[in-house]
């Protein structure tokens, strides 16, 4: 399996603004030109198990001829950064057997943009909407952060691994109103956020798509804010109207202002 370029580790330690301008060794102008000249390129969001399965399923459902993998960072993850690169290689081996080209991955991120969406106004947003918006805002960030790159590469399709239900468990960043909001936001930029696993509820089906055993939440990065919206008994209490208002009154505007700066 191809080794992760050690230069990625330096970037992931510093976590600079890395959204539209990339080091030449990661994404050269000649590579951009080659990608723009390639038909049917989709931007792939690579994180954990579901994201890999989503790319495989998307290539079965859409006329995708090439995949451009992206690995995004915030300021809150911890764990083994080599893992998403290794999973990208596994995905590449699987897709290239079906004659789908997979480009080398890039990393994208802006802890400052994440702070604007998910950290800076936490106290006020909690008071205003009645919930901590970290996870909902973070997933909007994960999709939005890929928009300038999609524009740069001439791609109109971003593949995400979001699911409305995880074997019956609820994640407020992946309930219907949240997923609807992400897709509406990305569509503002004439890009489709394709969620091929949206209505897949079973982890067994995810493993069947991948063709290997892979426990949910395993072999991926962790977040220091994970599960912050759950009660101590594991239940999730939320108000859909409050989440809708969070997007319409705050998050969409904040995210769009940030993205427009890079466009």
Q: What pLDDT tens digit does each residue of the chain (263 aa) get?
A: 566 788 999 999 999 999 999 999 999 999 999 999 999 999 999 998 899 999 999 999 999 999 999 999 998 988 989 989 988 998 999 899 989 999 999 999 999 999 999 989 998 998 999 888 889 999 999 999 999 999 999 999 999 999 887 776 778 888 899 999 999 999 999 999 999 999 988 888 888 888 766 665 556 788 888 877 777 877 777 789 999 999 999 999 999 999 999 88
Q: pLDDT at position 141, please?
A: 96
Backbone angles phi and psi of 45, in degrees to 5: -85, 115
Residues 6+ apart with CB under 8 A from 82: 4
Q: pLDDT at position 207, please?
A: 86
- Of 234, 72, 236, residue with least CA distance to 144: 72
Q: pLDDT at position 102, please?
A: 96
Note the pTM of the prediction, 2 decimals: 0.93
Rounded to whole angstroms, how far apart are CA atoms 234 and 53? Answer: 26
């Amino acid at each position: 399996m191809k080794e992760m370029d050690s230069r990625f580790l330096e970037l992931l330690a510093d976590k600079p603004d890395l959204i539209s301008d990339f080091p030449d060794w990661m994404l050269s102008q000649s590579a951009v030109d080659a990608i723009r000249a390639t038909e049917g390129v989709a931007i792939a969001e690579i994180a954990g198990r579901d994201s890999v399965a989503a790319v495989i399923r998307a290539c079965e459902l859409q006329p995708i001829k090439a995949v451009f993998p992206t690995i995004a960072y915030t300021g809150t993850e911890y764990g083994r950064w080599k893992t998403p690169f290794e999973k990208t290689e596994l995905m590449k081996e699987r897709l290239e057997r079906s004659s789908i080209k997979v480009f080398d991955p890039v990393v994208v991120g802006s802890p400052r943009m994440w702070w604007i969406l998910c950290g800076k106004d936490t106290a006020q947003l909690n008071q205003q909407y009645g919930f901590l918006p970290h996870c909902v805002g973070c997933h909007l960030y994960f999709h939005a952060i890929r928009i300038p790159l999609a524009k740069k590469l001439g791609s109109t399709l971003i593949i995400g691994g979001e699911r409305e239900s995880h074997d019956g468990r609820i994640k407020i960043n992946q309930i219907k109103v949240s997923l609807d909001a992400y897709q509406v936001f990305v569509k503002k930029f004439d890009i489709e956020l394709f969620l091929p696993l949206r209505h897949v509820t079973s982890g067994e089906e995810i493993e069947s798509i991948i063709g290997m055993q892979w426990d949910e939440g395993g072999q991926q990065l962790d977040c220091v804010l994970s599960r912050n919206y759950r009660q101590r008994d594991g239940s999730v209490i939320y108000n859909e109207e409050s989440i809708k208002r969070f997007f319409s009154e705050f998050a969409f505007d904040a995210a769009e202002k940030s993205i427009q700066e890079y466009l």
